[in-house]
A and B are shown apart, each in its own frame.
Chain A
Amino acid sequence: MSDKKPIIEFKGVTFWYGGANDKPAIKNINLTIHEGEYVALLGLNGAGKTTLQLCINGVIPNSIMGEFEGEVIVYGNDTYDTPVREMAKFVGMVFDNPEFQLSQMSVAEEIALGMESLGFSYDEMTKTITEVLEIVGLRGLEDRSPFGLSGGQQQRLSIASALAMRPKILVMDEPTSNVDPIGKEEIFAVAEQLNREKNMTVIMAEHEVEVMAAYADIVVVMHEGEILLNGTPEEVFSNVDLIHKLGLRMPQVTEYAHRLNQLNLASIKKPYPVTLDSAVERFKDIL
């Protein structure tokens, strides 16, 4: 990934929600994300994933009060002194509860909301609405009430609303946690498609390790506000003991490979396989 240009840089970022006496939500974060990368953020609740994500578009420290240290540079803009509205052109945000992000009377108006704030013309808006609804697969629902949609559709609408502002980075905070299994598939498919076809940088906090192992280029494991692991899925999931200690799940095939080693049934070299396909490839030689 070194040939790609770095677009998000965290330099020693620490953030306290309360005063500096409390425990920081994130602690001395140093992280570089390159254009077009699919980054998975793993960690238990309270590990600091959401806080880290809110730093990317400057909601922290601009809108959420607290103590902020360090620097976040996104496409050359220091988020500390760039208004969130400017950052909205670079960063689209999608949060965990789809229903809590919606406010308008119809799907079309929901998508138009951000564009209205940025002063898009009417023609641009109608064109963009059609485009983004096509991407998320909600064409034909323009006039429906956002609150009458299913959870998966609502979440895809949130994605569409974020995409309407033509961001280069899509930040998703547990986008599937309030969605049924079919809805989950749909959302992962949209994110995957945006990443592969439009070269959009995707930063997703998720608990679905199997999916993340398959899609993500980079996996970042957070714990108590710190980044413990950062690398490709194979590198990260090979730290089996640490991941177990943190109470996180790992892909079943990785777990399987590790158990085989532990029980001396096979000797599988690290990095372990993380997807079914790579596991089949690796185990072919052993079995």
Chain B
Amino acid sequence: MQGIVIPITMVPGNSTIHRMNPLPKLLWTLGILALSFSTRNIAVLGVAFLIGLLLVFYSGITKAYVRVAMILFPISLTLITLQSIAPAFPRPWTAIVGFGPFTIYQEGIYSGISLLLRIMAMTTWAMVTIMTSHPSDIFTSLKKIGMPYVLNFIFVMTLQLIPILQSEFGIVLNAQKSRAMKGSGFGAILPSMVPVFVGAIERVQQLSISLESRAFGSSGQKTSFRQVRMAFSDYVALFLGFLVPGAATYWVIVDKSLDWSHSMVFSPAFAITLVLGATIGFLIFVFFAIRAALSA
């Protein structure tokens, strides 16, 4: 199990972005999310992705980011393959080249590239936010703007539970191995589900009694131990977080000339290279993923 788990948590550091309040970061991420879903324009999405990448380099989380992108990018490549032969795009479609039952469409290539860039832009920005903010700070600042206390607790607890369940899986798998059952691969994970989840339920019951005994969930005034401050620069970033992605989103919705789906013409050679490249890239990834899962 351990080998195929990618930790998406805070990477300690002291960059400007690390020191920022989580709220503007979250707002920017939401803004980029809105922008990404509002346009298919390759240039706009590409720029959003590139700025995200610059922030990744700037905040010094490159290594952790690359580890996540290594998984995400090959999976996203399937979008190009699938979209090129079955575009999620209003007909009529313009065929570029056909082989056998498959036809590669102009709209498909365009749609595939823009979906890929959309995913990469959104996840890159989200990664910057998650990897530069302490989880407790994120929750505390959400609590400040009115997120219910209990919801917050659920998030914190879920984050904590993931590594615990992982290690419990390990224990159960070892127990199975010692009883000559299959101890690795997907075949072994299935029978270990029951003991792990029964254990998790027991844990949650005990935790709820323990929390109850510590006055958790009581009505009345609550305070917060974790202090998250909003500096002047945070207010500026927050304001810009409303303004910049908001304005950009408005622009991409209003400006019809940004629809390049037909004006951007792909040559048959480019289309074939792209689709084959994406397919091979994905298959190589699947091969390594299966090998890693089987040897884990």
Contact = CB atoms under 8 A, between A and B. Distances in A.
Contacts of A63: 209, 212
B163 A116 contact: no
Contacts of A117: 214-218, 222
Contacts of A92: 213
Contacts of A104: 136, 156, 160
A45 B95 CA distance: 74
Interface string B79-98: 00000000000000000000
A126 B211 CA distance: 20
Contacts, number: 106
A169 to B, nearest CB: 12
B203 interface: yes
Contacts of B226: 109, 112
A103 B156 contact: yes
Contacts of A54: 209
A138 to B, nearest CB: 16
B220 interface: yes
B153 interface: yes
A114 B222 contact: no
Given A104-B156, A119-B222, A122-B227, A59 B163 contact: no
A121 B214 contact: no
A162 B216 CA distance: 12
Interface size class of A (residues with CB under 8 A): 35 or more
B164 interface: yes
A109 B160 CA distance: 13
Interface string A123-162: 0011000000000000000000001000000000010011
Interface residues of B, number: 32
Contacts of B206: 95, 97, 100-101
For the complex of A and B, 3 pairs with smallest distance between CB atoms: A112-B225, A85-B218, A114-B214
A26 interface: no
Contacts of B211: 103, 113
A225 B218 CA distance: 31
B194 interface: no
Contact of B215 (A100, A108, A114, A125): A114
B156 A105 contact: yes
A80 to B, nearest CB: 16
B225 A115 contact: yes
Given A104-B160, A126-B225, 12 more contacts: A59-B209, A84-B218, A99-B203, A100-B202, A101-B206, A105-B156, A116-B224, A117-B216, A119-B222, A121-B223, A147-B163, A165-B215
B8 interface: no
A118 interface: yes
Contacts of A162: 213-214
B41 to A, nearest CB: 40
B221 interface: yes
A91 B213 contact: yes
A265 to B, nearest CB: 48
A118 B218 contact: yes
Contacts of A119: 220-223
A86 to B, nearest CB: 8
B46 interface: no
A118 B218 CA distance: 8
A104 B223 CA distance: 16
The residue among B156, B203, B210 with the most chain A CB atoms within 10 A of its own CB is: B210
A85 B223 contact: no
A115 to B, nearest CB: 7
B286 interface: no
Interface string B135-146: 110000000000
B157 interface: yes
A93 interface: yes
Nearest to B140: A109
A83 B37 CA distance: 49
A106 interface: yes
Contact of B225 (A57, A108, A158): A108
A59 B210 CA distance: 10
A88 interface: yes
Interface in B210-252: 210-218, 220-227
The residue among B135, B202, B222, B225 with the most chain A CB atoms within 10 A of its own CB is: B225
A64 B208 CA distance: 11
B207 interface: yes
